[in-house]
Every structure is written in structure tokens, then in C-alpha cells.
């Protein structure tokens, strides 16, 4: 069994077992992750855009939408855009229009994650700002977590957690890890122990593969045995290291067979 530091307690919540409290647990874990993500900066040459899928024309005319974004960034930065990168779950709806406009489309097999996941790129020149667009269908039921791990301290406060979804198709069970996070200053190895506990649970549930995407933890997951599938955007985020140095992290998609 996975060993945690004294005083830490792990609770696993799984819809397949009929466990109660999943929504509350995932809400806490998402909030924890959002707080940890704020510790990372974004590359100064990258502009991140999250389209308003209801109010904008992104899905109806993605080429026009991106052209406006490009014009706005070039006017603000005073430099021509070098690259446009998009991660989306809507490739079935917008992929054809964008490839006709010169984008390269790379499908991403997310296992239990959203169907239609892909990233698209268009290289315009060697140097300049980069536009990164993320357009994900948050209402996709395949994104909705159906398992969670909740790690608490002796006072019952959340100090770490993970959540994701398991899909069973064609007799095969695969998992999509949405989030894993641990609060700062926990004993060394807490994150690894949490990941091991999750892996053990998923194996017990018959899962044979885990898929994920990360902007901030590529090296952590590599140490756990995840292999790199795709580098969507190099050096998207950074953490401040010793003496003001920046430790860079790529936006990657990863996979691990169990």
C-alpha cells in the first residue's frame, strides 16, 4: 500500500462503487489546482485566449475569429505574429475550415477524455508573439469526473487531491486524469504517493491506460512513467527558480499504460 506521512489521510471516491460526495470533492480539488496554477507565469511572448463559445463566432467562423485575434495582438505588440496554436475538443466542427486556411491538424487520442481532441498549428514566421487558443467543451460528459482522491491533514483540511474520468468501451477501461495537485510545503514525496495511490485504485478498477494534458507538471509525470505523446506549445509556463532563473514547462499531452 502507498505510504503517506503521519497525519495524512486518503479518501477515494468513485461513482462506479456508488460512493457519495464526488461533486464536493472535485470542487475542492479544482480550487486547489487553480491556486497552485497561479504560481506559474506565462511566457511573455505568448498570448492565451479562451474563446467565448456562446457569445463569439469562434465555432461558426474560426478563421475570421483568429484573424481578429491576430490583428489585435499585432497592433498591441507592434510585431507580426509568429505562430498560432490551438488545443480544442471541437476538431470535428472547425478542423476542416482551419486546415483549408493553412493550419496543420494533429489528432490527440485522450482515451477516456473528450472525443475530437486535437491541436492545430500555423507557423507564420521565425520570430514574434505566439497566440495560444484553448477551446474545450466543458459540458462534454467525458470530461465530468467520476472518481476523486482526497488527501487531508490531521485537522481534516484538504492538502492534495486528484480527479478524472474512467470510460469503458469495447471491454477496455481507460482513464483521463483531469487534475492532480498538492498544497505547498507538504512532506517530500507526497505528490508521488498520491499518484501511486491513484494508479493503484485505477488498476483495481480494471483501467489499462491513463491519459492527461499538463502545462506545469511535465517532468513530474515523466518520473511517474508517463510518456510524451505531443508537445503542443514549448515553454508555455514557468516557475521562478533559484536566483531569479526561470524553470520552463511545455504544454504536453501524455500517456501511461498500466
Q: What is the pTM of this model?
A: 0.93
Given pLDDT bands bounded at 50, 70 and 90, which one contains residue 3?
A: confident
Residue-wise pLDDT tens digits, 56-81: 999 999 999 999 999 999 999 999 99
| Contact status, residue 154 vs residue 175, Cβ threshold 8 Å | no
Distance, in Å, from the CA atom of 69 to the CA atom of 52, rounded to the nearest integer, reads 13
| Contact status, residue 95 vs residue 131, Cβ threshold 8 Å | no
Check residue 154 and give its pLDDT.
Answer: 93
Dihedral sign computed on CA atoms, order 88, 89, 91, 97: negative
Distance, in Å, from the CA atom of 108 to the CA atom of 117, rounded to the nearest integer, reads 5
Calculate the average pLDDT of the chain: 95
Query: Which residue reads 495582438 in cell numbers?
Result: 73
Strands (E), the chain: 9-14, 41-42, 46-49, 83-88, 104-107, 118-123, 130-135, 147-152, 158-169, 172-182, 207-214, 227-240, 246-257
Residue-wise pLDDT tens digits, 201-224: 999 999 999 999 999 999 999 999
> In the predicted model, is pLDDT for residue 258 greater than 70?
yes
The mean pLDDT value for 83-96 works out to 97
Check residue 113 and give its pLDDT.
Answer: 87
Beta bridge partners of 166: 175
> In the predicted model, is pLDDT for residue 1 greater than 70?
no
Amino acid at each position: 500500500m502507498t505510504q503517506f506521512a503521519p497525519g495524512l489521510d486518503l479518501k477515494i471516491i468513485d461513482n462506479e462503487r456508488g460512493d457519495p460526495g464526488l461533486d464536493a470533492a472535485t470542487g475542492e480539488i479544482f480550487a486547489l489546482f487553480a491556486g497552485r496554477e497561479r504560481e506559474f507565469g506565462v511566457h511573455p511572448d505568448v498570448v492565451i485566449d479562451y474563446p467565448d463559445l456562446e457569445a463569439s463566432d469562434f465555432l461558426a467562423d474560426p478563421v475570421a475569429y483568429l484573424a481578429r485575434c491576430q490583428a489585435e495582438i499585432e497592433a498591441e505588440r507592434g510585431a507580426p505574429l509568429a505562430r498560432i496554436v490551438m488545443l480544442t475538443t471541437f476538431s470535428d466542427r472547425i478542423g476542416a475550415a482551419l486546415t483549408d486556411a493553412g493550419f496543420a491538424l494533429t489528432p490527440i487520442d485522450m482515451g477516456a477524455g473528450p472525443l475530437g481532441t486535437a491541436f492545430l498549428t500555423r507557423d507564420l514566421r521565425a520570430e514574434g508573439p505566439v497566440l495560444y487558443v484553448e477551446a474545450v467543451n466543458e459540458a462534454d460528459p467525458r470530461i465530468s469526473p467520476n472518481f476523486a482522491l482526497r488527501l487531508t491533514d490531521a485537522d481534516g483540511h484538504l492538502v492534495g487531491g486528484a480527479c478524472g474520468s474512467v470510460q469503458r468501451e469495447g471491454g477496455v477501461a481507460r482513464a483521463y486524469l483531469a487534475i492532480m495537485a498538492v498544497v505547498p510545503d507538504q512532506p517530500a514525496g507526497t505528490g508521488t504517493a498520491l499518484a501511486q495511490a491513484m494508479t493503484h485504485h485505477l488498476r483495481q478498477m480494471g483501467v489499462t491506460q491513463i491519459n492527461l494534458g499538463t502545462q506545469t507538471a511535465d517532468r513530474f509525470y515523466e518520473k511517474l512513467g508517463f510518456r510524451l505523446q505531443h508537445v503542443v506549445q514549448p515553454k508555455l509556463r514557468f516557475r521562478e527558480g533559484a536566483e531569479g532563473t526561470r524553470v520552463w514547462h511545455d504544454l504536453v499531452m501524455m500517456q501511461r499504460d498500466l
